[in-house]
Chain A
């Protein structure tokens, strides 16, 4: 089955840059979307495709990809960025969504 793997936890000092990664075979063929989720809230789409950010999402969020790994970069992390981040893409069929296990970001 298709799987996406994320590090369970990452930390970053306030104002520094952090990269959150997502690894999976299908990422060689499909774009990744990223969601931010704070405790007790629904996920929020922060970026998809080639650096497409929904309205209201700051431009400190960006994405990149290499081979089977996609990365979400936060440049100048803020305290409000502390949250869980989930990656999502397609499975091998292209018709089904798959999610990574999520990464808990701590801003120190």
Chain B
């Protein structure tokens, strides 16, 4: 059974960098059928797509976050990671990782439970 688990600090300082990891179990992150993505949800609001990565390292980023985001993949650890820099309070959110089907249809079919991140001094 495929599972995804986010990990990382729950509190980060303004102007700092957020680093999160997503550990995948039950499937290989090197699958050619899927991408791996990050999505966030600000308190009481909708979902915001951050970006995806393919096993080859090819990345796709949200245009609104592109200047601050880096997503990387470590196939040896079956993990992928998110870095978001120049943080402000507006980046306070629950961050989810997900498996993404993006070749024909575009969908996120397996999600992690999410990790809450607060940006505050």
**A: which residues have CB within 8 A of B?**
1, 30-31, 33, 35, 41-45, 48-49, 52, 54, 86, 88-91, 95-102
Provide the bound-state CA to CA distance between A65 and B47, in Å: 22
State how many angstroms separate the Cβ of A103 from the closest Cβ of chain B.
10
Given A43-B47, A99-B46, A99-B47, A35-B108 contact (CB < 8 Å): yes
Residues of B within 8 A of A54 (CB): 109
Contact among A33, A35, A96 with B105 in the assembled complex (CB-CB below 8 Å): A33
**B: which residues have CB within 8 A of A?**
37, 39, 45-49, 52, 60-64, 96, 100-101, 104-109, 111-114
State how many angstroms separate the Cβ of A47 from the closest Cβ of chain B.
9
The residue in chain B whose Cβ has the minimal distance to the Cβ of A52 is B105
Given A1-B63, A96-B63, A97-B37, A45-B107 contact (CB < 8 Å): yes
User: A33 to B96, Cβ gap below 8 A?
Assistant: no
User: A98 to B49, Cβ gap below 8 A?
Assistant: yes
14 extra A-B contacts, CB within 8 A, seeds A35-B108, A43-B47: A1-B63, A31-B106, A43-B96, A48-B106, A49-B104, A54-B109, A86-B47, A88-B107, A88-B108, A89-B106, A96-B49, A97-B106, A98-B49, A99-B48
Provide the bound-state CA to CA distance between A102 and B108, in Å: 16
Mostly, the B contact residues are strand
Provide the bound-state CA to CA distance between A99 and B41, in Å: 11
State how many angstroms separate the Cβ of B49 from the closest Cβ of chain A.
4
The residue in chain B whose Cβ has the minimal distance to the Cβ of A48 is B107
State how many angstroms separate the Cβ of B112 from the closest Cβ of chain A.
7
User: B106 to A33, Cβ gap below 8 A?
Assistant: yes
State how many angstroms separate the Cβ of B89 from the closest Cβ of chain A.
20
Residues of A within 8 A of B101 (CB): 48
Provide the bound-state CA to CA distance between A90 and B60, in Å: 12
Contact among B46, B49, B63, B108 with A101 in the assembled complex (CB-CB below 8 Å): B46
User: B96 to A42, Cβ gap below 8 A?
Assistant: yes
